[in-house]
Chain A
């Protein structure tokens, strides 16, 4: 209790009143007059002052608690409250409850704000700040904040979408390159195979050509042989016929005469 404290001032007032009473009574005593009612009043006033001193300390006690709590608020802390508030609804206890109510509004406002911001940054966009039970500017503040959060959530969602799309794109490009590479490989394999196939085909054709020409050759030879044989047989038949029965006297006769019993084998025809 300092010299300027409320408690000191009220106590000083009471005690000065008592002191004045005491001075008056003592003056009477000194003058030799014993005024019993005065003495009794004096004692009562002293007793009242003593009780008042005790009472005023109790009545003003919440102010010290209020000071602590409000100092904390000034430091940005909203978790202290005034407790053990007297049941008698005097101005000071009402003031304490009002301060508590104010802190409940402030504390809830900041908790709601903190929680909804944190949840939103964690992607839980559904966790909006709840303004129910908050009053006036606190409620309005959270409502505005929710609009902001919705906008932020939208932006975040679209940023996520863009990021995802670009990742898909990168994935595609990576795949495209490797796909191209593997297609190139495949193409090479195919080309190689085609080349082999082509050369095989060429080979086959050549073989076929060769075999065809050899077949032709064979056929030619065969037909040559057949032609020759046929013409030879015909020729032989004709000459024999002519020699035997063609010109009597000359052919057969001469034949018979020259080679006796043997048929003369004619000379090979010129065209064979």
Chain B
């Protein structure tokens, strides 16, 4: 369920010694978000829990990034990424995210855990340039098809 929000050019900047924490189930549905997540995303805890994590997806983000993210974490690896997120009010905030799988005692993935830290300004500069080019390429080559089928195949994602 994604709301129609028009992105604005208002930026929120993370604080140095804070991090945004969120947890999801195996399908990417939010099961927990900390207070900083609630503050930056602008949604209430109620609104966040049970919804897909793409609720804060920014239209400037190329699909390939999330493709990589999902292929890594479902392969039991951790993933680091610079992500531009969009708050409920349309403002954006950059994060340096680390997503790791959570395992049960017998080693099966039960969900995912992500920590988002304040990103380096130089990293944001590079990432936004690269993402802009990627997005252009994706728009040209309609790469979105692959992404959707990836999620359908892996069954990790319900929209």
A residues with a Cβ closer than 8 A to B are 79, 81, 83-85, 87, 97, 100-101, 104, 107-108, 111, 115, 130, 132-135
Q: How far is A115 from B21 in the complex, measured between Cα atoms in Å?
A: 17
Q: Say yes or no: is B115 at the interface (Cβ < 8 Å to chain A).
A: yes
- New A-B pairs, 9, CB < 8 Å, besides A107-B113, A111-B115: A79-B111, A81-B32, A84-B49, A100-B34, A101-B35, A108-B19, A115-B78, A132-B19, A132-B118
B22 to chain A, nearest CB (A): 10
CB contacts (< 8 Å) of A135 on chain B: these are 17
Q: Is the beta-carbon distance between A130 and B113 smaller than 8 angstroms?
A: no
Asked, given contacts A104-B19, A104-B21, whether A132 binds B117 with beta carbons under 8 Å apart, the answer is yes
Q: Say yes or no: is B60 at the interface (Cβ < 8 Å to chain A).
A: no
> What is the size, in residues, of chain B's interface with A at 8 Å between Cβ atoms?
24
Q: How far is A104 from B44 in the complex, measured between Cα atoms in Å?
A: 19
CB contacts (< 8 Å) of A97 on chain B: these are 35
Q: Is the beta-carbon distance between A87 and B44 smaller than 8 angstroms?
A: yes
Q: How far is A133 from B32 in the complex, measured between Cα atoms in Å?
A: 18
> Which of A83, A107, A115, A134 is most buried by chain B, counting CB atoms within 10 A of its CB?
A83
Please give me the residue from chain A that is nearest to B45 by CB atom. Answer: A85
Please give me the residue from chain A that is nearest to B50 by CB atom. Answer: A83
Q: Say yes or no: is B51 at the interface (Cβ < 8 Å to chain A).
A: no
CB contacts (< 8 Å) of A84 on chain B: these are 45-46, 49
Q: How far is A81 from B45 in the complex, measured between Cα atoms in Å?
A: 13
CB contacts (< 8 Å) of B118 on chain A: these are 132-133
CB contacts (< 8 Å) of B100 on chain A: these are 111, 115
Please give me the residue from chain A that is nearest to B118 by CB atom. Answer: A132
Asked, given contacts A84-B49, A104-B21, A133-B18, whether A111 binds B31 with beta carbons under 8 Å apart, the answer is no
Q: Is the beta-carbon distance between B49 and A83 smaller than 8 angstroms?
A: yes
The 6 closest A-B pairs by CB, nearest first: A133-B19, A81-B32, A104-B21, A132-B117, A133-B117, A108-B115
Q: Is the beta-carbon distance between A83 and B31 smaller than 8 angstroms?
A: yes
Q: How far is A132 from B80 in the complex, measured between Cα atoms in Å?
A: 14
Q: Say yes or no: is B71 at the interface (Cβ < 8 Å to chain A).
A: no
Q: How far is A104 from B36 in the complex, measured between Cα atoms in Å?
A: 11
Please give me the residue from chain A that is nearest to B44 by CB atom. Answer: A87
B123 to chain A, nearest CB (A): 13
Q: How far is A134 from B118 in the complex, measured between Cα atoms in Å?
A: 12
Q: How far is A125 from B46 in the complex, measured between Cα atoms in Å?
A: 41
CB contacts (< 8 Å) of B86 on chain A: these are none
Q: How far is A101 from B32 in the complex, measured between Cα atoms in Å?
A: 12
B117 to chain A, nearest CB (A): 5
Q: Is the beta-carbon distance between B45 and A83 smaller than 8 angstroms?
A: yes
Q: Is the beta-carbon distance between A133 and B115 smaller than 8 angstroms?
A: yes
